């Protein structure tokens, strides 16, 4: 049995009261590891360590901080396979993605963050008059709490911690209790990579350790990637101290296919690149609403069905597997409940609907849901409006550009959208008019580090980049 510990103040420690949580392999349903069940005492200790380290870390020249971040990139390079296997075992994301896509990209991200450390200390100068000078300077907030989800723990850890550290903040990472092992193992690898207290990792239930962290008056910034409901709870919890917040929350992304599109590329873009493979649709940007131009409706449904029929569900550690399980028993129950909801609402199932042992008989204890597609013309159905976070999509027909835009924007969410068309003018209009933080045209789920990523409406605000972890101060100097 693997046993992991928190990283607090440069030391690897169990929870203050010794409690642990079981970590379950979602492919088998079996407990494979134990993680600390942190609480308020652990939160307090992490904040104290981070506050003690802040003057030294923030006072270090930016190039000095950059050297530490480059060392982290080297850790990712050396331990990529180990971290990938831990994450796949812990949350079910297939190894071919964690090993070939996620981990190599994280080494690159830490290098980019190191290169942007200087941006965090730059300011502007304004000549106010012959004897008056105005200037701005950017300063780190202080202690930044980064709350990360279970679907891509190491990737989200990096997207937050690398930029927060580059900006001069000290950091406390709170991983999701469903999948903390890869981040806790990373803490073991980084225990000597930073001065004590600069980076801290504390696992546990949200109500036990996350809430005390968010409410703590020693915390100066909170960044969350998670559900809209969690974002709302953090907003309420942090209200007394008026902490600045960065939220990347849920989504119900439209993926819009026009008749003039490259239909082969579009079919792949709305299935394996979007909602079915890799992480079994457990992706905040999943294009789970597929809007299809009516002239190509039948052809696209056939193409989607054909691609879905070749999705391979099996042991996620097998490099031939193309889709893994649902992360936990609770999430499995949520996803499967929407199969019943869709049927009651009158949506038509085109394929899928199989669950549990009938999907992967060789792994009967796993949380398996087959790729599933419903069709409807009513965008008000719950399966069209609510985030399912699983391999369940709904296809909706449209006749005109105006109708497609209206359906796409008829959502409480605004995280991302996809548009498939050869019409350049149409592409620009949809980029302009779609209510989402990111719009992909003739591609999907590309999130390069050089571009901001975030949402609007119930999908959050702000984005994880180095300037998001700084505040601007103005000064006026009279000579």
Q: Distance between CA atoms of 239 and 84, rounded to whole angstroms?
A: 37
Mean pLDDT of the chain: 96
What does the pLDDT look like over 364-400, one tens digit per residue? 999 999 999 999 999 999 999 999 999 999 999 999 9
Counting beta carbons within 10 angstroms of the beta carbon of residue 387, is it exposed (0 to 12), middle (13 to 18) or buried (19 or more)?
buried
Q: Which pTM was predicted?
A: 0.96
Please state, in angstroms and rounded to a whole number, the distance separating the CA atoms of residues 201 and 46. Answer: 8
Q: Would residue 248 show up in a list of annotated catalytic residues for this protein?
A: yes
Domain annotation for the chain: domains and CATH numbers = 2-249+459-478 (3.40.605.10), 254-448 (3.40.309.10)
What mean pLDDT comes out for the span 208-217? 96
Q: What integer is the mean pLDDT of 62-84?
A: 96
| pLDDT score recorded for residue 54 | 98
pLDDT at 464 over 90: no
Do strands 413-414 and 456-457 pair parallel, antiparallel, or not at all (unpaired)? antiparallel
pLDDT in tens, 7-34: 999 999 999 999 999 999 999 999 999 9
CA–CA dist 229, 250 (Å, integer)? 9
Q: Tokens 């929350």 belong to which residue?
A: 249
pLDDT on residue 463: 85
The string of pLDDT tens digits covering residues 43-55 is 999 999 999 999 9
**Model confidence at 290, in pLDDT bands (50, 70, 90)?**
very high
Q: Is the dihedral of CA 56, 59, 64, 68 positive or negative?
A: positive
The active-site residue out of 87, 177, 248, 387 is 248
Strand-pair partners of 313: 323
Kindly report, residue by residue over 422-432, the tens digit of the pLDDT: 999 999 999 99
- Residue corresponding to tokens 């079915």: 276
pLDDT one-digit tens code per residue, 87-110: 999 999 999 999 998 888 899 999
> Which pLDDT does position 410 carry in this prediction?
98
Q: Quick one: tokens of 322?
A: 């193309």
Closest C-alpha to 352, from 320, 307, 389: 307
């Amino acid at each position: 049995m693997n046993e992991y510990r928190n990283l607090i103040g440069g030391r690897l420690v169990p929870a203050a009261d010794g409690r642990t949580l079981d970590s379950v392999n979602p492919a088998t349903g079996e407990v494979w590891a134990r993680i600390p069940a942190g609480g308020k005492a652990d939160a307090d200790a992490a904040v104290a360590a981070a506050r003690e380290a802040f003057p030294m870390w923030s006072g270090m020249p930016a190039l000095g901080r950059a050297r530490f971040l480059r060392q982290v990139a080297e850790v990712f390079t050396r331990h990529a396979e180990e971290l990938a296997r831990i994450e796949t075992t812990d949350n079910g994301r297939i190894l071919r993605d964690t090993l070939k896509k996620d981990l190599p990209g994280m080494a690159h991200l830490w290098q980019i963050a190191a290169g942007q450390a200087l941006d965090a200390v730059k300011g502007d100068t304004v000549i106010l008059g012959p004897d008056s000078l105005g200037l701005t300077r950017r300063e780190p907030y202080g202690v930044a709490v980064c709350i990360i989800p279970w679907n891509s723990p190491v990737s989200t850890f990096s997207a937050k911690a690398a930029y927060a550290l580059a900006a001069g903040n000290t950091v406390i990472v709170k991983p999701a209790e469903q999948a903390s092992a890869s981040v806790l193992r990373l803490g073991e690898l980084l225990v000597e990579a930073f001065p004590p207290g600069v980076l801290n990792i504390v696992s546990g239930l949200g109500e036990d350790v996350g809430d005390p962290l968010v409410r703590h008056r020693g915390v100066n910034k909170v960044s969350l990637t998670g559900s809209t409901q969690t974002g709302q709870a953090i907003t309420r919890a942090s209200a007394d101290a008026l902490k600045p917040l960065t939220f990347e929350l849920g989504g119900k992304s439209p993926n819009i296919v026009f008749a003039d599109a490259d239909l082969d590329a579009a079919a792949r873009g709305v299935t394996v690149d979007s909602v079915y493979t890799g992480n079994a649709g457990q992706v905040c940007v999943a294009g789970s609403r597929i809007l299809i131009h009516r002239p190509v409706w039948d052809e696209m449904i056939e193409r989607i069905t054909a691609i879905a029929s070749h999705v391979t569900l099996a042991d996620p550690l097998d490099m031939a597997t193309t889709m893994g399980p649902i992360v936990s028993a609770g999430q499995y129950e949520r996803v499967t409940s929407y199969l019943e909801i869709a049927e009651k609402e009158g949506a038509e199932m085109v394929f899928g609907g199989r669950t549990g042992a009938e999907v992967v008989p060789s792994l009967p204890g796993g949380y398996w849901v087959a790729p599933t597609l419903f069709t409807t013309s009513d965008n008000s159905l719950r399966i069209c409006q609510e985030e399912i976070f699983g391999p369940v999509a709904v296809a909706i027909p449209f006749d005109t550009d105006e109708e497609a835009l209206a359906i796409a924007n008829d959502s409480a969410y605004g995280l991302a959208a996809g548009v498939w068309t050869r019409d350049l003018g149409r592409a620009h209009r949809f980029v302009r008019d779609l209510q989402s933080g990111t719009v992909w045209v003739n591609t999907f789920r590309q999130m390069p580090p050089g571009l901001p990523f975030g949402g609007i409406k119930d999908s959050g605000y702000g984005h994880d980049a180095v300037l998001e972890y700084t505040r601007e101060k103005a000064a006026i100097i009279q000579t």
